[in-house]
Amino acid sequence: MRTLYTWICIAFTVIAAASGDVLIALAMRRIGDLGDFRRKHGFLAVIARVLSESALFGGVFFMAMAFFSNLVGLSWADLSLMGPASAALTFVTNALGAKFFLHENVDKRRWIATIFVCVGVILLTRT
């Protein structure tokens, strides 16, 4: 039964983490390069600009959900399962989210890289 709970936890973590990543990436894309912004307007202006992005708060909310879900999962399963399993699935979910919601150019090179990393992470978990 604990295995079932663990995988439900991993699924919840993956969906929450991917939603959080996409929303935070959306917020940071709207703001632009933080280094350039800091050079032009100063450090405090960077903080004010970041905190004015509503998508960021949505992203942080979903990341917090993923964090607590991950904590619960870590209390049931080893990091060697929770970490790579949720990470590997998050790579694919993020690529889909980035393509359809952020309209990133996820070309063949990035898909192959994503699949390589995903399979590599799964292999790393095997003893």
Partner 1 sequence: MRILNARKYLVLLAVVIFGSIGDSFLSRGMKQVGAIDVHHLAHVFAALGNLWVLLGIFSLLAFMASYMTALSFADLTYVLPATAIGYVNMALISRFWLHEHVSLTRWAGIVLIVVGVGLVAGGPSRTEHPADGEALAETETSGERV
Among 21, 12, 5, which residue's Cα sits nearest to residue 104?
A: 21
Q: What residues contact residue 98 under an 8 Å CB cut-off, 6+ apart?
A: 22, 25, 104, 106
Q: Which is nearer to partner 1, 45 or 119 (CB)?
A: 119
In whole angstroms, the minimum distance from the beta carbon of 54 to partner 1 comes to: 15
In whole angstroms, the minimum distance from the beta carbon of 2 to partner 1 comes to: 8
Cα–Cα distance measured from residue 7 to residue 18, given in angstroms and rounded to the nearest whole number: 16
Both structure tokens of 26: 């959306």
In whole angstroms, the minimum distance from the beta carbon of 4 to partner 1 comes to: 10
Both structure tokens of 52: 């004015």
Tell me which residues touch partner 1 (CB under 8 A): 5, 21-22, 24-25, 28-37, 50, 63, 67-68, 70-72, 74-76, 78-79, 83-84, 87, 90-91, 94-95, 97-99, 102-107, 109-110, 112-117, 119-124, 126-127
